[in-house]
């Protein structure tokens, strides 16, 4: 899956985008037809542990406030299955909202 980070999410993860294979996500978290959004987010947090840099936001906090697009469609349910070919956009609140 292609994961793209925007604004505070990009600052917290220190990367604009990355590819994460379904095989890299914990097999206990597989949903019917693919890996769940929640399992992907858990894996992202494993890949980007908290920083000692006080100017960098916590990725966990950013993810808690973010909305997500999967293949350009808004997704709120973290149990949503993702295909290996999916593009997941992580969108934190912009301009105060």
> CA Rg, the chain, in Å?
13
**Beta carbons within 10 angstroms of residue 26's beta carbon:** 12
Q: What is the pTM of this model?
A: 0.87
Instruction: Answer whether 13's CB lies under 8 Å from 5's CB.
Output: yes
The partner residues of 58 in beta bridges, in order of sequence, read: none
**Beta carbons within 10 angstroms of residue 1's beta carbon:** 22
**pLDDT attached to residue 30:** 46
Q: Which token pair is 95?
A: 């301009």
Burial 31-68 (b: 16+ CB within 10 A, else e): eeebbbbebbbbbbeeebeeeeeeeebebeebbeebeb
- By percentage, how much of the chain surpasses pLDDT 90? 69
**pLDDT attached to residue 23:** 73
**pLDDT attached to residue 96:** 58
Q: What is the pLDDT of residues 57-85, one digit of tens each?
A: 899 999 999 999 999 999 999 999 999 89
Chunked in runs of 10, what are the mean pLDDT values of the chain (97 residues)? 96 95 62 78 93 90 96 95 94 75
């Amino acid at each position: 899956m292609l994961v793209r980070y925007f604004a505070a999410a990009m600052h917290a993860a220190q990367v604009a985008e990355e590819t994460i294979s379904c095989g890299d996500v914990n097999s206990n978290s597989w949903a019917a037809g693919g890996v769940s959004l929640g399992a992907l987010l858990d894996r992202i947090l494993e890949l980007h542990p908290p920083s000692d840099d006080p100017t960098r936001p916590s990725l966990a906090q950013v993810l808690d406030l973010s909305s997500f697009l999967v293949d350009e469609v808004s997704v709120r349910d973290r149990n949503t299955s993702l295909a290996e070919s999916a593009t997941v956009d992580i969108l934190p609140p912009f301009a105060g909202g």
